């Protein structure tokens, strides 16, 4: 695992943005991390995981550490549950399918989410009524100064909607090395109420779904709405769904009766950014090589050859259009570099 200078990251980010790392090295263990940090190749370090939730608008003038820590092991098992310790560099979807095949329940609604396991706690990935925090036990994070391990339990992670301590107080200070998840072996608590899951199960005449049935339904819904990054560069939802005061939501609802509104904390409501963007006229919009996906307006796509700067300009234009039409601020879910 020799560090390499001036290394292209174009194939390592799912938006396919052209950018170079000043230095690049895959990191397959805590030991490798310590050795690489000791070399002091660059004053700045940057952790690259699956590259599926980022927009690169420029070269990364840093030592880029590419998470490559593998392994899935059972560290605790009883009649009812199993606790897995998973290397941060495992592919998230492979972990989900590994659990589904073993009939371990909890993560099935999170099938097909792109990216690596180590990134899951950082933005507390979620879909179809489940967030990774629901099964999370703890994770081990290595300090980017000296590689020393610090353990964060569920409370310590301060999980919120697409949020955690790794995006706040300790931002850019750690590389997550491993994550532990607790899964059920029987009496699985299925989450079927969100979105089209129950509809898809009904269509397929599945009345007593297994976790494999739920994972299948989630995959078919995602495939129908979200572009495959291998075919069309994208980073999933580009913006977060905005949380606005309940009063403002009621006013918008009076003007736009079709506006979907979801519960948030007391006095607040969450509304779908995809709906706002579609109503602002941007669904399926394309300028040069950048665009808005035609089946889900929350996803920005690279039709081939787009630059990060162009993509960011389009994102800002969409933000401004939504603000102008609805007086609602939508902010990127995807970190911009």
Q: Closest distance between ligand EPU and the C-beta of residue 186, in Å?
A: 26
Query: Which residues inside 181-200 make contact with ligand EPU, applying CB under 6 A?
Result: 195
The CB-based long-range contact list for 206-212 (8 Å cut-off, 24+ gap) reads 210/103, 211/99, 211/100, 211/103, 211/104, 211/105, 211/108, 212/100, 212/101, 212/103, 212/108
Query: Which residues inside 153-172 make contact with ligand EPU, applying CB under 6 A?
Result: none
Query: Does 216 contact ligand EPU by CB under 6 A?
Result: no
Look up 237 and say whether it is catalytic.
yes
- With respect to ligand EPU, which residue has the nearer C-beta, 122 or 226? 226
Q: Closest distance between ligand EPU and the C-beta of residue 55, in Å?
A: 13
Which residue in the set 66, 85, 93, 240 belongs to the binding site for ligand EPU (CB under 6 A)?
240
Q: How many chain residues interact with ligand EPU (CB under 6 A)?
A: 19
Query: What DSSP letter does each residue of 246-314 carry, written as one string?
Result: HHHHHHHHHH-TT---EE-STTEEE--HHHHHHHTT-TT-EETTEEE-SS-TTEEEE-SS--HHHHHHH
- With respect to ligand EPU, which residue has the nearer C-beta, 245 or 260? 260
Query: Does 283 contact ligand EPU by CB under 6 A?
Result: yes
Beta partners for residue 26, in sequence order: 66
Cβ contacts of 227 within 8 Å, gap of 6 or more: 234, 293, 295, 299, 301
- With respect to ligand EPU, which residue has the nearer C-beta, 20 or 161? 161
Which residue in the set 152, 159, 178, 275 belongs to the binding site for ligand EPU (CB under 6 A)?
275
Cβ atoms of 67 and 115 within 8 Å: the answer is no
Look up 8 and say whether it is catalytic.
no
Which residue in the set 121, 177, 236, 291 belongs to the binding site for ligand EPU (CB under 6 A)?
236
Which residue in the set 67, 122, 127, 318 belongs to the binding site for ligand EPU (CB under 6 A)?
127
Look up 333 and say whether it is catalytic.
yes
Nearest-angstrom CA–CA distance, 64 and 60? 8
Q: How many other CB atoms are there within 10 angstroms of residue 188's CB atom?
A: 17
Given the rule CB under 6 A, which residues bind ligand EPU? Answer: 127-128, 195, 225-226, 236-237, 240-241, 260, 272, 274-275, 278, 283, 296-298, 333
Residue positions annotated with a catalytic role: 162, 237, 333
């Amino acid at each position: 695992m020799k560090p390499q200078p001036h290394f292209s990251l174009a194939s390592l980010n799912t938006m396919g943005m052209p950018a170079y790392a000043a230095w690049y090295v895959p990191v397959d263990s805590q030991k490798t991390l310590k050795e690489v940090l000791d070399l002091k190749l660059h004053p700045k370090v940057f952790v690259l995981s699956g590259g599926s939730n980022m927009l690169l608008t420029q070269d990364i003038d840093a030592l880029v550490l590419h998470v490559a820590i593998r392994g899935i092991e059972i560290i605790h098992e009883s009649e009812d549950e199993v606790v897995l310790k998973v290397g941060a560099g495992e592919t998230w979807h492979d972990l989900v399918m590994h659990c589904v095949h073993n009939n371990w329940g909890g993560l099935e609604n999170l099938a097909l989410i792109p990216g690596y396991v180590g990134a899951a706690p950082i933005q507390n990935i979620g879909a179809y009524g489940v967030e990774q925090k629901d099964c999370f036990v703890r994770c081990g994070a290595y300090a980017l100064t000296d590689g020393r391990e610090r353990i964060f339990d569920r409370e310590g992670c301060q999980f919120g909607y697409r949020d955690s301590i790794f995006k706040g107080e300790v931002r850019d200070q750690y590389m997550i090395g491993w994550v532990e998840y607790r899964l059920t072996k029987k009496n699985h608590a299925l989450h079927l109420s969100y979105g089209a899951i129950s509809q898809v199960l009904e269509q397929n005449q599945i009345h007593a779904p297994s976790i494999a049935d739920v994972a299948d339904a989630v995959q078919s819904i995602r495939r129908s709405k979200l572009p495959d990054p291998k075919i069309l560069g994208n980073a999933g939802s580009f913006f977060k769904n905005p949380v606005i005061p309940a009063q403002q939501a009621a006013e918008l609802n009076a003007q736009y009766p079709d506006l979907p509104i979801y519960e948030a904390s007391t006095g607040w409501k969450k509304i779908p950014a995809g709906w706002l963007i579609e109503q602002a006229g941007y669904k399926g919009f394309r300028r040069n090589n950048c665009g808005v996906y035609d089946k889900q307006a929350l996803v920005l796509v690279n039709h081939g050859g787009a630059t990060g700067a162009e993509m960011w300009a389009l994102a800002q234009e969409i933000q401004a259009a939504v603000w102008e039409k609805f007086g609602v601020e939508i902010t990127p879910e995807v970190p911009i570099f």
